[in-house]
Chains A and B, each alone.
Chain A
Amino acid sequence: AQKITQTQPGMFVQEKEAVTLDCTYDTSDPSYGLFWYKQPSSGEMIFLIYQGSYDQQNATEGRYSLNFQKARKSANLVISASQLGDSAMYFCAMREVQIQGAQKLVFGQGTRLTINP
Chain B
Amino acid sequence: DGGITQSPKYLFRKEGQNVTLSCEQNLNHDAMYWYRQDPGQGLRLIYYSQIVNDFQKGDIAEGYSVSREKKESFPLTVTSAQKNPTAFYLCASSIAGGRYSPLHFGNGTRLTVT
Instruction: Show the binding face of A for B, using Cβ within 8 Å.
Output: 4, 31, 33, 35, 37, 42-47, 50, 52, 91, 93, 98-110
State whether B42 touches A102 (Cβ < 8 A): no
- Cβ contact of A105, chosen from B96, B103, B107, cutoff 8 A: B103
The winner among A44, A46, A99, A104 for most chain B CB atoms within 10 A is: A44
A107 adjacent to B42 (CB under 8 Å): yes
Interface 0/1 of B23-56, CB less than 8 Å to A: 0000000110100000011111100111100001
How many chain-B residues does the 8 Å CB contact rule pick out? 32
Asked if A45 meets B92 with Cβ closer than 8 Å, knowing A99-B56, A102-B33, the reply is: yes
B56 neighbours in A (Cβ, 8 Å)? 99, 102
CA distance A104 to B40 in the complex (A): 21
Q: Select which of B33, B42, B96 is within 8 A of A91 by beta carbon.
A: B42
**CB pair A100 B43 closer than 8 Å:** no
CA distance A4 to B45 in the complex (A): 14
With A43-B108, A45-B92 given, is the CB distance from A103 to B101 under 8 Å? yes
- In the complex, A42 Cα to B88 Cα: how many Å? 11
Residues in B neighbouring A102, C-beta threshold 8 A = 31, 33, 48-50, 56, 94, 96
